[in-house]
Structure 1
Amino acid sequence: MAFQNGTPPATDMSAVPPPAGPTQDQAKTTLWMGELEPWMDENFIKGVFLSSAGETVNVKVIRDKNSGNAGYCFVEFATPDAATKALGLNGTPVPNSSRQFKLNWASGGGLVDRRDDRGPEYSIFVGDLGPEVNEYVLVSLFQARFPSCKSAKIMTDAMSGQSRGYGFVRFSDENDQQRALVEMQGVYCGNRPMRISTATPKNRGNHGFGHGHQGGPMMGGGMPQQQMWGGVQGFPYGGNAGAGGGFNPATQMNQFTDPNNTTVFVGGLSGYVTEDELRSFFQGFGEITYVKIPPGKGCGFVQFVHRHAAEMAINQMQGYPIGNSRVRLSWGRSQNNSGVGTPYRPAPPPPHYMGMPGPAHGGPGPNPYGGPHHFGGPAPGPQGPSGPPGPAVPPQFEETAGHY
């Protein structure tokens, strides 16, 4: 896909029509329904279609292992004509709610096609999404170009429901996924060009919505991710890299090569961020074992069940605003997880932060698209001078750039 000057003009993706409906050769009876409220369950949706379309339907609400309702479902009708009729409800108010119907044809056949063991699935990460982009817009954009595109999920703030600016798109055909990585890179969705990278599908060990990179992604000028946070690029927090025992390159490199290391170090935390709030920002990338914020240190640790989820979090959350500052991420190490930190449980919603300024030293530069700063990549610019060492972090937690 080629564009003049490499960048297409901004378009209003809300006007993009859904993909063509079913043909006589391949009749469809299943619709995708998105933008669901967390409380909307199968019984509610069945009642909605019974009252709005006079149809008795089967419903499968997709469940996210970490956050519960993933925000979309599949609705199966008795006949293709009934499904076509119900599709006409798109854009009209959903009874007994503040939402509108967001409907589209579901790729594949009936609900049975969406069993967890159906077969391989291939996901991509989509970043730099504007607040005007919803799941219907995102899935319509990809389904119009890639027939095997199954669904899209945009991660949202649990309290406000507003987009966090990134999401995931799932395919059943690896060729479509690979094409999308190339053809959709920089394509406008809403008012911003998308940033695309690979993500691990749920049937490769992560039961969430395809969070995690397949291998180490290339970042910042083509440098592999493991090199970007290895060696001198590691961030020392609260002191220099040699504080409390010195810098050990062999130990640091082991954190990247050890497949059992799933701990992410989160630096630059403001003092009032809680462990539950920190968890809520990272739980979209995969199942979390524990979260720990040592008192008074301005940092925290997030340990995932799967390493690829930790890799994805480091890549995509670098420089992301949490509290009143932008966090800096690197690999951490936990020598003893027993009884440490807060075990996984559904997190309460975090506060929503708007208009946050960048940090004084080493923070992300201005956003050329006029919205939330891009995720991913290390904070550009020189790092500020190291402050005096703070109170010691418990010895079972160590950042790989140095020891506390």
Structure 2
Amino acid sequence: MDEDYLASCFANTNQVASIKVICNKQTGFPEGYGFVEFYSHAAAEKALQTFSFTTMPNADQPFRLNWASFSMGDKRSNNGSNLSIFVGDLAADVTDTLLHETFAKKHPSVKAAKVVIDANTGRSRGYGFVRFGDDNERSQAMTEMNGVFCLSRPMRIGVATPRISSGYLQYYFSQGGYSNSASPQGSQPDVDSTNTTIFIGGLDPNVGDEDLRQPFAQYG
């Protein structure tokens, strides 16, 4: 499934601006995901509603679509900072819309919210991102929304620092001990030598604190 394949999938929309399939830098083979940029937000939203979970052409698997945190043309602001925050400890049933509404109630400059979905299971990974249009509101949200409940669980707020690589956005997080890349096999960012926290991904939504504590207890 290359860029030509994706182009054929969305050709009938007549709204595709660009397509990018992400490939592994070492092997050159596709990583199994990519980005489709549309000419308008409305066109992208219609594509999400139309194609999500329908069967992909000439395949036995469904489309797994979600909003990209940033379009392929987005850049960092002039001062090198980013107007997004990391939101962790999300309940399994929190959606993009609910996350957006939770922040927009107090911070109207919120532009987008994205819950990260596991590509293999289609389930939430328990964290996401919220992007703001105003840096002051972003800073306020870092403090005011930390510990606020979203459905059944209090949220953990951290800094999301972007790195642009190969035309797509990678994230690493300077707070909360979380680390994630747009590529599941992407290289790890440099880590502060004083950091004592590691990120554990791919957990079943039913895994609790004690379930996670037991296998790691032997390491101290």
TM (norm. structure 2) is: 0.58
1:58 corresponds to which of 9, 17, 34: 17
Code of the residue aligned with 1:164 in structure 2: it is R
Code of the residue aligned with 1:74 in structure 2: it is E
2:59 matched to which residue of 1?
none
1:307 corresponds to which of 191, 198, 202: 191
1:74 maps to 2:37: yes
Give the number of equivalent residue pairs: 203
Distance 2:190 2:104 in 1: 30
Q: How does 1:249-288 map to 2 (within 5 A)?
A: 284=181
Alignment deviations for residues 12-43 of structure 1 (CA, whole Å, 9 cap, x no partner): xxxxxxxxxxxxxxxxxxxxxxxxxxx6x654
1:65 and 1:208 in contact (8 A); partners too: no
Distance 1:171 1:64 in 2: 30
2:137 matched to which residue of 1?
176
Compare relative contact order (CA 8 Å, sep 6+) and give the higher one, 1 or 2.
1
Percent identity reads 22
Distance 2:77 2:32 in 1: 19
Distance 1:359 1:111 in 2: 40
Offset, 1:165: 1.3
Offset, 1:103: 6.4
Question: Which protein has the bigger strand share?
Answer: 2
Query: Given the superposition, is the C-alpha separation of residues 76 and 140 from structure 1 closer, same or farther in structure 2, using an over 3 Å criterion?
Result: farther
Offset, 1:155: 5.6
Distance 1:61 1:188 in 2: 36
1:91 corresponds to which of 49, 70, 75: 49
Distance 2:193 2:132 in 1: 19
1:167 corresponds to which of 128, 147, 166: 128
1:132 maps to 2:93: yes
2:109 matched to which residue of 1?
147
Distance 1:199 1:130 in 2: 20
1:120 and 1:172 in contact (8 A); partners too: no
Query: Given the superposition, is the C-alpha separation of residues 305 and 101 from structure 1 closer, same or farther in structure 2, using an over 3 Å criterion?
Result: closer
2:171 and 2:181 in contact (8 A); partners too: no
Distance 1:309 1:65 in 2: 28
Query: Given the superposition, is the C-alpha separation of residues 134 and 70 from structure 1 closer, same or farther in structure 2, using an over 3 Å criterion?
Result: farther
1:58 and 1:76 in contact (8 A); partners too: yes
Query: Given the superposition, is the C-alpha separation of residues 131 and 200 from structure 1 closer, same or farther in structure 2, using an over 3 Å criterion?
Result: same
2:115 and 2:124 in contact (8 A); partners too: no
Distance 1:42 1:167 in 2: 27
2:173 and 2:179 in contact (8 A); partners too: no
Distance 1:124 1:359 in 2: 27
Distance 2:193 2:23 in 1: 15
Alignment deviations for residues 239-277 of structure 1 (CA, whole Å, 9 cap, x no partner): xxxxxxxxxxxxxxxxxxxxxxxxxxxxxxxxxxxxxxx
Offset, 1:354: 6.8
Distance 1:211 1:116 in 2: 15
Distance 2:23 2:115 in 1: 10
Query: Given the superposition, is the C-alpha separation of residues 168 and 100 from structure 1 closer, same or farther in structure 2, using an over 3 Å criterion?
Result: closer
Query: Given the superposition, is the C-alpha separation of residues 71 and 125 from structure 1 closer, same or farther in structure 2, using an over 3 Å criterion?
Result: farther
1:71 and 1:153 in contact (8 A); partners too: no
Distance 1:192 1:47 in 2: 41
2:110 and 2:130 in contact (8 A); partners too: no
- SS for the counterpart of 1:202 is strand
1:212 and 1:308 in contact (8 A); partners too: no
- Ranges in structure 2 where 5+ consecutive residues have no aligned partner: 57-61
Query: Given the superposition, is the C-alpha separation of residues 161 and 70 from structure 1 closer, same or farther in structure 2, using an over 3 Å criterion?
Result: same
Distance 2:194 2:122 in 1: 24
- SS for the counterpart of 2:139 is helix
Offset, 1:50: 3.3
Distance 1:170 1:60 in 2: 23
Distance 2:192 2:6 in 1: 34
1:228 matched to which residue of 2?
none
